[in-house]
Structure 1
Amino acid sequence: MIFVTVGTQKFQFDRLFIELDKLVDSGKINEEIIAQIGFSKYKPRNYKSFEMVYLAQMDAFIDQASILITHGGTSSIIQGLKKGKKSASCTKTKKNMVNMWMIIR
């Protein structure tokens, strides 16, 4: 399972969730995805999403994940490192988003 989290700041990260939907549509991602989408306006079509999750649920999702994708928040990065997860931190710039999937694979 791939777990995606963008934190609780009042910023959207629609581009990330749109790109993940495209990767699922194209068959490049076959794994289950669960996403904490925060204040993003885009609602994913191909995977489960939650606006916010409680800390205990976030820990459980990270424990289950084979890959963790974060928005670059310190807490998310540290959790992934502590749990030994393959992780990618995405910036909100388009140039870096395009190559994100290639980096974590």
Structure 2
Amino acid sequence: MREVQRPPWYANALILIVAAVMWYGFIQQIIFGIPFGAKPASDTGMWGLFLLFGICFPLFFLSLKLVTKTEKEGLVIRFFPFCSRVIPYQQIKSVQVQPYHPMSYGG
């Protein structure tokens, strides 16, 4: 059995809004040559901000997920892209069904 949980849609929407603003600012300043904002960054600074908040930041947050699998050796929990953990079945003392609300927990 396998379950995948991702951040809630509203967290992804916020990240995509930040990325869209960076893309807009980058295109306006670098492509069209129109300074972006009241105190525009230098072109080098805009490139750095674009790479960080327009590309890396969204790719990182949109790749986050929690994968839970049952394997022979035990329960495997992986928080991608960070860590993985195996909990042997012998260490699990009890199991219960727990209802939850996906809109409040994002899972």
Fold equivalence (TM over 0.5) = no
RCO higher in structure (CA 8 A, sep ≥6):
2
Q: Which has the larger radius of gyration?
A: 2
Give 1 or 2: higher helix fraction. Answer: 2
TM range (shorter): under 0.3
TM-score, scaled to structure 1: 0.26
